[in-house]
Amino acid sequence: MEITSGAISTDYIVIGSGVAGLRAAIELSRAGKVLVITKDRATESSTEYAQGGVAVALSDEDEIGFHLKDTLAAGDGLCNEENVRILVTEGPERIRELISWGAQFDRDGVRLAFTREAAHSKRRILHANGDSTGREIERALLAKVKATDNIKKYDYSITVDLIVRDGQARGALVWREREKKLTAIYAKAVVLATGGLGQVFQRTTNPEVATGDGFAIAYRAGATLTDMEFVQFHPTSLYVPRAPQFLLSEAMRGEGALLVNVHGERFMPGYHARAELAPRDVVSRAIVSEMLKTKSEHVYLDLRHLDAGFVRNRFPRIYSTCLKFDIDITEDMIPVSPAAHYMMGGVWTDKDGGTDIPGLYAAGEVACTGVHGANRLASNSLLEGIVFGARAGIAAAAHGLKKPVPRKDAVSYAAADTAKGDLLKIRSQLRRLMWREVGIIRSGESLRRAIDTIDGWRTLWDSGPLSRPWLELKNMLTAGELISRAALARKGSVGAHYRTDYKARGRGWERHISFKRD
């Protein structure tokens, strides 16, 4: 069945409404009309769920050089140093700007309050309302957007594919789920800011919207994706059967929380000199090792030795959420286990968010600027979204000034019937497969099993019912295969990528693995 779209035009399109997308839209609004497309409500993104904070060298004890050094160390030798320098140098200015727009970070008196997280040498983590930093940043940016006449939002609209003409990005084909309407939207430039892909894995801290859409549509359009093997697994998500995999912020360990196994034994000092403050990949693998040793499905995070009033005030959202599951974090140990959390790789971009498709820009988690290397430093993600979202917006506006809006053509799209139940079943099977075979600990054998299984679902990539469930599954299958193939190609263990059959870094470990369609 062929479905023909209607067609409209605008000056600029931003796909995604997290911190990177909103920050890009604000810059683009200075040059023309901006349409922000999001497949759910505008506030539903990973930004809203970011608890720990935003890392920035603004405290008296800190310096940009220290932040640079810590970021490069966490990246395990694979960071783009030029882009890291941009991140840490421009970060303070962007945070001050955000504060001037109304963002309210926690303070000690009149001074900004900073905390410390794993792999940071200084207390440089700004937080808001204790553990709701992402939500506060999102609130401030949305308020700024609402006060800007040139920005319009399309909620509950999922991007089907990019429109590429003569090798240049010209817009996006969008399915408006509520209206059951397909629309071709043309623009001078497109900024991709769709966030992550955690839903590809059975256990994840990511919201349900994080299905890898931006990675897949950029790949189908012909953009280069790089470093897809580097998926970061957060060590501590709430482990309660049938409960959401709620993130327990790294800041809890920064404030003194300890990790103990089911026998009540503290174990991190036996794995790393920095114990609970070791890099995330080290802590995640240590937890998995303890779970295997004790034949359990979780370990515990213990804050009982900390002052109860401090814990409640510092982590109010975590405290109230855990109480819903009859866990008082001031009196009870919290059952935790790792979960997929953040993609370090993604759509390759230059320092200004430009991809190798003219007119297409990317920012935030969907982009690979190289600032995270093989393992992201805690709380650098919000800063990256703010800094590189702004840079992408500025660059896209400059590109758009030279490019006229193309003629509005209707676009046809092939759709086929597939039962919704079948789609949900395969989605569940994919998530279990990725967690089991392409998770925290991998091997060539497990990765080949994953690739072969995903290939068996390939017919779903080509046609299906034009709907959000099918489009998300199609994108998840593409993202899952790219992660698996990149992990198979990297015959060595670096950063968050760990293989039992290649435990050393291996020859040529400094290379970056990239994919481009055909």
Neighbours of 281 (CB within 10 A): 25
Token pair listed for 261 = 């196994």
Q: Dihedral of the CA atoms 319, 282, 285, 125 (nearest 10)?
A: 20
**Can 280 be counted among the known catalytic residues?**
yes
CA-based nearest residue to 219, from 398, 350, 379, 345: 345
**Residue 455 host element (H or E):** helix 444-455
- Alpha-helix residue ranges (DSSP H) falling in 278-340: 280-294, 308-314, 316-323
Residue holding tokens 């604000």? 26
Q: What number of CA atoms fall less than 13 Å from residue 374's CA on the CB side?
A: 23
d(CA 227, CA 345): 4
Q: Dihedral of the CA atoms 504, 509, 512, 516 (nearest 10)?
A: -70
Q: Are 138 and 18 in contact (CB under 8 A)?
A: yes
Residue of 280, 376, 427, 499 with catalytic role: 280
Pairing of β 54-55 and β 125-126: antiparallel
In the sheet with 54-55, reading across from the earlier edge strand, the strands are 54-55, 125-126, 114-115
Residue holding tokens 């931003």? 14
Find all residues with CB under 8 Å of 3, minimum gap 6, and list them.
182, 412, 413, 414, 415, 466
Residues belonging to the active site: 280
